[in-house]
Chains A and B, each alone.
Chain A
Amino acid sequence: MTQSFGLPTPSALAQQSTAPPPAFNDASMPRSIAGRLLFWFLVIALIPCAILTAITARIASTALENSVRNNLIQIAAAKATELEAYAQERLRDGTALSRSPSVINAIPELSATLEQSGVSLPNALRASSLSEPRPIDTFLSYAAKAFGYSTVLLIENSGRVVFSLDDSVPLGASLLSGTLATSELAIGFDRSRTLLQSELSTFQTYGKSGQPLAFVTTPIFLNGKVIGVLAMGLGPNRIWKVLSDLSGLGDTGEVITGERMGDNVLVTAPLRHAPDAAFRMLIPLGSAVGSTIQKAASGQRGYGTASDYRNQEVVAAWCYLPSYRWGMNVKQDATEAFALVRFQRMAIIALSLATIIGVTLAALIVARTISNPIRTAVAVARQVASGDLRANVGITSDDETGALLTAIQTMTNDLRGLIGRIQKSSVALISTATAIQATSSEQQQVIADYGASTSQAVAAVKQISVTSQELVRTMTEVNDMAAHTGAMAAEGRGNLSGMDGTMRQLATSTSSFGAKLATISERAANINLAVTTITKVADQTNLLSINAAIEAEKAGEYGLGFLVVAREIRRLADQTAVASLDIERMVKEMQYSVSAGVMEMDKFAEQVRVGVQEIGDVSGKLSEIISGVQGISGRFGQVTEGMRAQSQGAEQIREAMIRLADGAARTASSLNDFNSATIHLRGAVGDLKEEVSRFTT
């Protein structure tokens, strides 16, 4: 049933026009009519069909499996019965033969012959070496042929073989010692002799022939006492023939037998898939492969599915054959056994798919007939919603959907007329609103200009008022300062007058000091003149004395005295010159000091004079200032008063202007309101027009 949800979405199949508006979109169920029809068709058709199919398939599978099982079990039972019957027959053969007098009599005879012949025992007893056949030879070879035995042995009570039809067991060999002591024949011999009944040993290979033999051992009685054992070798061919009859097992079925040998299971018959497996193939106990034959060889009985020696999935029935101590296993490959079940499953699936496809097609066709007119109506409605009123409904039927389409057609026609009238009215409204808005805008602009001018005037007047106030304040401060300055100037003038007198006295004393210094300087100059004169005289004297000395030398002897006089004169002149030089230097220094003092005194006197003059000037100016300041102070008072009056007037003007500006602002604001109302009106009309213009008539 879940397959119906995995199909392509029905809405995608049904939707051929544009995407649906969101209102159609909120359902969790299939959205379109086609989708919903499909969903319910599938639900109604498929649920009973699926339940019915499931039940039928279940019953059929069970029946098939049961038939396979019964078949296998029956075959297994039949084979087991047949083999057991064959084994019982052979035991009865042995029992019958052991009672025959020739066999009973043959044992002592053959024992006696064996005693006589001594060392050449084998040759003496060998039937083929005898010149004429003994009666026992003839009898036993005939019996073997008649019952299908490959060999017949006669064994003494002591375990010595005293008769043999062929070489598979050597004549004269002992079963209680040597290689044969552990053989199956020895076990059978021992059991028959002890239990006094016939026994069938398991198959084993004897001698050189390689042929597996099972011996039927039967005790031979003489006068109620066991004197020996009759052993008849039985080949496996007859059993294999039974097992190779595979009728009722199909192409892959087979019968497998095995016996336990230690930890392994030995396969004892040729297999369909391995013809030479007999007495060669070993299946280890506990391994995963061939588990059914392992169970059978362990004595169990059963039926089931398992993997065989080829590791193939098989269906098998197994049982135990006690006479042979074998497990038997009748099996068939699962693929063949259950082929019918698989075919049935495939048929059911194919049938289901065909049903789903048929139901889907039918649902789609039915849904299409219903949803087509509705979709047309939806398309028309959507066209009207998007504003196109030219839509025309082609009415095709006269059922319920036809009536719906007719109603839509009528509605569209009415709408078309109405919208046309609204469009015309809105155009007229818009032009009126535009005109109103333009007028109000102009008016608003005028008022705004008026308001701006008023504001500017207010600002200017306010500025004037502020400036006047500041001016008044400044003038007051200036007046105060002027009065203060006048007072200080008067005080300064008094001080200056005292200072002037002092300076004048200083100037007078400086002048007299300078005059005295000038006198000193003059005297020093006079001294200097005198010293210079002395120096010049000394110089002239020196010169005179030198020349005199020169002349005196030239005069030779006569001039010697004169030379001495000249030298003394020169020395005198030198001393005079030195003294005059000292005086000159001292006078010059004094003169220099005096002249420097004079110069400084002159400079000081000049400064004093200038100072006196400047003080006089300052004093005069101060007097002027004082008188000027006293005059100004009064006028400043008048100016301040005028300023104050002006400031008050400006303040009054400013208040009036502010009231005016308020009035203008109020007018502008009311005009603004009017204007915005007009804009709103125009916007509303524009919206209306836009809305209406969406419709195409």
Chain B
Amino acid sequence: MQLLTFTVAGQTYAIASRTVIEVLPLVPARPIPLMPDYVKGIFTYRGHLVPLIDLGRRLAAKPLAERLSTRVMVVEFDPVHRSPSSEPPSACVRLGLVAENVISICSALDADASFPAMELPDALFLGKLLRIRGQTIQLLVIEHILPPAILRGLFPATAEAKSP
């Protein structure tokens, strides 16, 4: 399994590269009123409106520096099923995740050690911990990266279609 690594507040995180559609340079986003501060806004990706999430504010409560290596990872997932099927269903949602140092891809096969995921009710997005070449990497579960209420708010049609 290939992992796309990035850093937030000096710590290294990773997400599975198969959920990533594309990595983009930082794009301007239109702000959404009355949203939590980690929702930077909404931007247009290939004709679709996609919410842009600032992982710096979401994970470490501090904004990201705007550098060349600060990029947007466009991810796609099914909000109900934890593991997305090989073919993306029509009910899948897309999010843009902003992080620093999005410049490297590594393989999970290179991990020296692995720790199981924690089950914290307020932090379900924290997945397994891997140790690769002396560096501890926290895997993120992107289906839970947003709280359910916010997710439902952002994608009402999807939620209603799937909920019954």
Contacts and interface: CB of A to CB of B under 8 A. Distances in A.
B104 A550 contact: no
Contact of B2 (A542, A553, A570): A553
A553 B109 CA distance: 14
B68 A539 contact: yes
Interface in B1-49: 2, 4, 17-18, 20-25
Interface in B90-115: 102-105
Given A567-B105, A570-B103, A550 B17 contact: yes
Interface residues of B, number: 17
Contacts, number: 41
A546 B68 contact: no
A528 to B, nearest CB: 15
A436 to B, nearest CB: 119
B22 A550 contact: yes
Contacts of A563: 2
Interface string A535-560: 11001001100110110011000000
B2 A543 contact: no
Interface residues of A, number: 15
B18 A554 contact: yes
A86 to B, nearest CB: 176
B17 A547 contact: no
Contacts of B20: 550
Contact of A546 (B18, B21, B103): B103
A535 B104 contact: no
B71 A553 contact: no
Contacts of B4: 546, 550
A574 interface: yes
A549 B2 contact: yes
B2 to A, nearest CB: 5
Nearest to B24: A543
Interface in A558-586: 563, 567, 570, 574
B104 A570 contact: yes
Contacts of B18: 550, 553-554
A541 to B, nearest CB: 11
A549 B16 CA distance: 12
A547 B23 contact: yes
Contact of B68 (A535, A547, A550): A535
Contact of A549 (B24, B25, B69, B105): B105
A543 B71 contact: yes
Nearest to A535: B68
Contacts of B103: 542, 546, 570, 574
A574 B25 CA distance: 16
A542 B4 CA distance: 13
Nearest to B16: A553
A547 B22 contact: yes
Which one of A543, A554, A567 has the highest number of Cβ atoms from chain B below 10 Å of its Cβ?
A: A543
Nearest to A540: B25
A365 B25 CA distance: 166
A303 to B, nearest CB: 160
A536 B68 CA distance: 8
A542 B68 CA distance: 11
B23 A543 contact: yes
A514 B22 CA distance: 51
Interface in B61-119: 68-69, 71, 102-105
B25 A550 contact: no
Nearest to B23: A546
Contacts of B21: 550
A536 B21 CA distance: 23
Nearest to B103: A542
Contacts of A554: 18
B105 A550 contact: yes
Given A535-B68, A549-B17, A550-B4, A543 B25 contact: yes
A535 B22 CA distance: 21
Nearest to A551: B22
A201 B103 CA distance: 190
A540 to B, nearest CB: 8
The 4 closest A-B pairs by CB, nearest first: A539-B68, A549-B105, A553-B2, A546-B23
Given A546-B105, A567-B105, 12 more contacts: A542-B69, A549-B105, A550-B17, A550-B18, A550-B20, A550-B21, A550-B22, A550-B105, A553-B17, A553-B18, A554-B18, A570-B104
7 contacts: A539-B68, A546-B105, A547-B23, A549-B105, A550-B20, A550-B22, A570-B104
